[in-house]
Amino acid sequence: MAFDLERTEKEFLSSLREIRTRDELENLRIKYFGRKRGILTKIASSLPLLSLKEKKILGPIFNHLKGELRQSLKERESDLSSASPKSTKEIQQKPLTSSLLFDPTAPGKEVFTGHQNPVISVIEEIKEIFHYLGFTYIDGPEVDLDLYNFQKLRIGKDHPARDTQQTYYLNDEVVLRTHTSSMQVRYMETHKPPIRVLFPGRTFRRDPVDATHLPSFYQIEGLLVDNDSSMTDLIGTLDFVIKRFFGSKTKTRVYGHYFPYTEPSIEVEVLHKNGKWMEILGAGMVHPEVLKNGRIDPRKYRGWAFGMGPERMAMLKYGINDIRLFYNGDLRFINQF
């Protein structure tokens, strides 16, 4: 083919954009539409030389293009004569030929699709493992009442965990949840045992950003309430899940801890490849008063709960040493997963 409609259009549009005066516009018109040497005129005169098949495809495209270019010229002309010659809207539109010149035999262009952040993959994987154990999952509000985030979990007004250094208060009663434990009582209020549920979601704390802290991070809360649940059941379940997730040879250790809403409470650490222990979750038996706050009779039922940190789990699993990498949008990092 002795001409390239796509290039012709692009060149025309880019010249058109440069035009500032009527004279320049007239020159451009002559260059393209001139009776003898006009670029479009020449193309028109070579069309009859094409094969019938080519004519069928290119003829209508050419005519359409010619009409469009003429129209753009006209619009530019009226722009120039009006008081504000700024309207370049039409000129910047997507080149017309790119959608019209479809060549089914051309090699495809590589399309870049986005993909899941590794932290979300961890959440999905944990959901799947717990699904196998009979757990469902549910979302909860990120903006919640102080009541559910603290008070119903036995975190009184003067408890150090609600230090203003840590909590984003929207007003006296409303906070950005500092943990997904805010869902425990909310859920118990509206569900009867047996309960087996996960609450994955974002949480917020006023932590300065560094390699292991972000002001917003994810947690996966788990809650089980039944009539014969026990601490050994909790530890056995966590061990099963951690081995499924990190591999059957993973070393874990459990030690006593304190949370106002569980009694007794534990923390679980996993041995990192670098030889250091890393804490990945807090857990414990749901405090009888918390069950009561959720309108569940603690004489009949017992429950356990845990809260995992999926960022930390992803760091352990993939050997990542800076939590900021998950969210700064660097494709060189993200594309490895």
Residue 235: CB minimum distance to ligand PHE, A:
13
Per CB under 6 A, 5 contacts ligand PHE: no
Q: How far is the CB of 150 from ligand PHE (least distance, A)?
A: 11
Strands (E), the chain: 136-137, 143-145, 174-176, 195-204, 216-226, 252-259, 262-271, 277-286, 302-308
**For ligand PHE, which is the closer residue by CB, 97 or 309?**
309
Structure tokens at 257: 């801890």
Cβ-Cβ contacts under 8 Å for 306 (sequence gap 6 or more): 221, 222, 234, 238, 281, 282, 283, 284
Q: How would you class 115 by CB atoms within 10 Å of its CB: exposed for 0-12, middle for 13-18, buried for 19 or more?
A: exposed
- By beta-carbon proximity to ligand PHE, the closer residue of 40 and 268 is 268
Distance in angstroms between the alpha carbons of the first and the last residue of the chain:
45
Spatial distance between the Cα atoms of 159 and 162, rounded to a whole number of angstroms: 6
Report whether 263 belongs to an annotated binding site: yes
Instruction: Please work out the total of residues on this chain that contact ligand PHE, with binding judged by CB under 6 A.
Output: 12
Least gap, CB of 265 to ligand PHE (angstroms): 6
Interface of this chain with ligand PHE, residues 247 to 306, rule: CB under 6 A: 259, 262, 265, 282-284, 305-306
Angle at the Cα of 256 from the Cα atoms of 149 and 136, rounded to 5 degrees: 50
- Of 72 and 293, the one with the shorter C-beta distance to ligand PHE is 293
The 3-state secondary structure of 201-225 reads EEEECCCCCECCECCEEEEEEEEEE
Which is nearer to ligand PHE, 15 or 212 (by Cβ)? 212
**Cis bond before residue 118 (omega within 30° of 0):** no
Which tokens go with 312? 């930390």
What number of other Cβ atoms are within 10 A of residue 312's Cβ?
A: 21
Considering only residues 173 to 212 of the shown chain, the ones binding ligand PHE according to CB under 6 A are 179, 181
Q: Which is nearer to ligand PHE, 42 or 196 (CB)?
A: 196
Reduce the DSSP state of residue 95 to 3 states and report it.
Answer: coil
Q: Which residues pair with 265 in a beta bridge?
A: 257, 284
By beta-carbon proximity to ligand PHE, the closer residue of 76 and 179 is 179
The binding site for Mg(2+) consists of 263
- Residues forming contacts to ligand PHE in the complex (CB under 6 A) are 179, 181, 221, 259, 262, 265, 282-284, 305-307
The binding site consists of 263
